[in-house]
Structure 1
Amino acid sequence: MPTQQHLSPEEKKSLITRNLQEVLGEDKMTEILQTRDLKVYWGTATTGKPHVAYFVPMSKIGDFLKAGCEVTILLADLHAYLDNMKAPWDLLVLRSKYYEHVIKAMLRSIGVPLEKLKFVQGTDYQLSREYTLDVYRLSSVVTEHDAKKAGAEVVKQVEHPLLSGLLYPGLQALDEEYLKVDAQFGGVDQRKIFTFAEKAMPALGYTKRIHLMNPMVPGLTGTKMSSSVEESKIDLLDDPAAVKRKLKKAFCEPGNVENNGVLSFVKSVVFPILGEIEIVRKEEYGGNVNYTEYEKLVDDFAKEAVHPGDLKASVVVIINKLLQPIQEEFKNPELIKLTKEAYPPPQKTKTKPSSKSKSTPTPNTDELNPNRLDLRVGQIIKAEKHPDADSLYLETIDFGEESGPRTVVSGLAGLVPLEALQGRLIIGLCNLKPQKMRGIESQAMLLCASIKSETSKEVEPLDPPAGSTAGDKVFIEGVNQVTPDERLNPKKKVWEKLQVDLLVTKEGIATWQGKNIVTSKGSITAANLRGSSIS
Structure 2
Amino acid sequence: MASLTPAEKYSIISRNLQEVLGKEQIETILAERDLNIYWGTAPTGKPHLGYFVPMTKIADFLEAGCHITILIADIHAFLDNMKAPMELVGKRAEYYTELIKATLTSIGVPIDKLKFVLGSSYQLTAEYSLANMKMCSKTTEHDAKKAGAEVVKQVANPLLSGLMYPGMQALDEEFLGVDAQFGGVDQRKIFVLAEKMLPALGYKKRSHLMNTMVPGLAGPKMSSSDPDSKIDLLEAPQDVKRKLGRAFCEEGNIAENGVLAFVKTVLFPLRSMNGKSPVFTILRPEKFGGDVTYTTYEALEEDFKEKKVHPGDLKNAVADAINELLGPIRKWFDNDKLRQLTEDAYPTPKPEVKAVKSNKPAANANLPVDISRVDIRVARIVEAKVHEANPNSYVSTVDCGNGDVRTVVSGLAKYVPLEEMQNRLVCAVCNLKPGKFQGILSSAMLLAGSNADDSVIELLQPPAGLEAGDLIEFEGYGQVDRSSPEKLNPKHLIFEKVSADFKISPDGHALYKELQFKTKAGPVTLKSLKEGRIR
Q: Same fold (TM over 0.5)?
A: yes
Give the SS at the match of 1:6: coil
Residue 27 of structure 1, CA deviation:
1.1
Give the SS at the match of 2:327: helix
Q: 1:197 aligns with which of 194, 199, 203?
A: 194
Choose 249-258 or 275-284, whichever is displaced more: 275-284
Please say if residues 144 and 167 of structure 2, whose CA atoms lie closer than 8 Å, have aligned partners that are also in contact: yes
One-letter amino acid of the structure 2 residue matched with residue 332 of structure 1: N
Instruction: Report the equivalent of 1:401.
Output: none
Mapping 1:70-109, distance limit 5 Å: 70-109=67-106
- Cα deviation 1:235-284 (Å, max 9, x = unaligned): 22223222111111111110111131111111111111113311222222
Give the SS at the match of 2:123: coil
One-letter amino acid of the structure 2 residue matched with residue 289 of structure 1: V
Give the SS at the match of 1:115: helix
Give the SS at the match of 1:319: helix
Structure 2 CA distance, aligned partners of 1:334 and 1:91?
A: 17
Q: 2:289 aligns with which of 279, 286, 299?
A: 286
Please say if residues 408 and 444 of structure 1, whose CA atoms lie closer than 8 Å, have aligned partners that are also in contact: no
Unaligned runs of 5+ in 2: 272-277, 368-373, 398-410, 415-419, 443-477, 488-535
The yes-or-no answer on 1:304 pairing with 2:307 is yes
CA RMSD, 1 decimal = 3.9
Instruction: Report the equivalent of 1:248.
Output: 245
The yes-or-no answer on 1:392 pairing with 2:377 is no
Instruction: Report the equivalent of 2:36.
Output: 39
Change (3 A) 1:357 1:259: closer
Change (3 A) 1:89 1:392: closer
The yes-or-no answer on 1:330 pairing with 2:342 is no
Structure 2 CA distance, aligned partners of 1:164 and 1:205?
A: 24
Instruction: Report the equivalent of 1:141.
Output: 138
Q: 2:424 aligns with which of 415, 432, 439?
A: 439
Please say if residues 407 and 443 of structure 1, whose CA atoms lie closer than 8 Å, have aligned partners that are also in contact: no
Change (3 A) 1:19 1:323: same
Residue 177 of structure 1, CA deviation:
0.4
Residue 143 of structure 1, CA deviation:
2.0
Change (3 A) 1:211 1:337: same
- Cα deviation 1:457-501 (Å, max 9, x = unaligned): xx96589xxxxxxxxxxxxxxxxxxxxxx9998777999xxxxxx
Instruction: Report the equivalent of 1:111.
Output: 108
- Cα deviation 1:139-167 (Å, max 9, x = unaligned): 22222222222222223445542111211
Structure 1 CA distance, aligned partners of 2:480 and 2:15?
A: 52
The yes-or-no answer on 1:345 pairing with 2:360 is no
Residue 442 of structure 1, CA deviation:
7.7
Instruction: Report the equivalent of 1:258.
Output: 255
Instruction: Report the equivalent of 1:167.
Output: 164
Residue 51 of structure 1, CA deviation:
2.0
The yes-or-no answer on 1:181 pairing with 2:184 is no
One-letter amino acid of the structure 2 residue matched with residue 329 of structure 1: W
Give the SS at the match of 1:50: coil
Aligned residues: 414
Change (3 A) 1:166 1:48: same
Change (3 A) 1:7 1:320: farther
Choose 181-190 or 285-294, whichever is displaced more: 285-294
Structure 1 CA distance, aligned partners of 2:230 and 2:250?
A: 19
- Cα deviation 1:30-76 (Å, max 9, x = unaligned): 22222222111111111111122221222222222222221111111
Please say if residues 34 and 67 of structure 2, whose CA atoms lie closer than 8 Å, have aligned partners that are also in contact: yes
Residue 318 of structure 1, CA deviation:
1.2
- Cα deviation 1:4-44 (Å, max 9, x = unaligned): 45333223222221221111001111222222221111111
Residue 88 of structure 1, CA deviation:
3.3
Change (3 A) 1:61 1:410: farther
- Specify the structure having the higher radius of gyration (Cα): 2
Mapping 1:115-514, distance limit 5 Å: 115-158=112-155, 160-228=157-225, 230=227, 232-274=229-271, 275-350=278-353, 361=364, 392-393=385-386, 408=394, 410=396, 437-439=422-424, 441=426, 461=440
Give the SS at the match of 2:239: helix
| TM-score in terms of structure 1 length | 0.69
Identity percentage of aligned residues: 54
Give the SS at the match of 1:84: coil
Give the SS at the match of 1:23: strand
Change (3 A) 1:27 1:249: same
Please say if residues 83 and 164 of structure 1, whose CA atoms lie closer than 8 Å, have aligned partners that are also in contact: yes
